[in-house]
Amino acid sequence: MAVASEHPACGVPRDAPRARVRLRDLVELTKPRLTLLVVATAATGAYVAPGGAGWARTTTTVAGTALIVGAANALNMVLERDVDARMARTRRRPLPSGRLSAGAALAFAAALAALALPLLAQAGALTTALALVALALYVGAYTPLKRRSDLALYVGAVPGAIPPLLGWTSTAGRAGAGGLLLFALLYAWQLVHFGAIALVREREYQQAGLVVVSVARGREAAEHVVRVGALLTVAASLALLATGLGRVVYGATTCLAGAGLLLTALRRRASPSSSWAWRTFLVSNAYLAVLLAGLALERARP
We report the CATH number of the domain holding residue 83 as 1.10.357.140
Specify whether the CB–CB gap between 78 and 105 falls below 8 A. Answer: yes
Q: What pLDDT score was predicted for residue 10?
A: 45
Asked if residue 1 belongs to a domain, the reply is: no
- CA 206 to CA 219: how far, in whole Å? 13
**Neighbour tally for 260: CB within 10 Å:** 14
Asked if residue 154 belongs to a domain, the reply is: no
The count of domains in the chain is: 2
User: Residues of the chain with pLDDT > 90: what percent?
Assistant: 75
Query: Which domain covers residue 181, as residue numbers?
Result: 175-302
pTM metric for this prediction: 0.90
Phi-psi region of 32 (alpha: psi -120 to 50; beta: other; left: phi over 0): alpha
Read off the pLDDT of residues 23-32 as tens digits, 9 standing for 90 and up. Answer: 899 999 999 9
**What's the average model confidence in pLDDT over 281-290?**
96
Q: Same structural domain for residues 197 and 255?
A: yes
Asked if residue 158 belongs to a domain, the reply is: no
Q: Is 24 exposed, middle or buried (0-12, 13-18, 19+ CB in 10 A)?
A: exposed
Q: Same structural domain for residues 117 and 215?
A: no
Q: Same structural domain for residues 192 and 103?
A: no
Read off the pLDDT of residues 226-283 as tens digits, 9 standing for 90 and up. Answer: 999 999 999 999 999 988 877 788 889 899 999 999 999 998 665 667 889 999 999 9
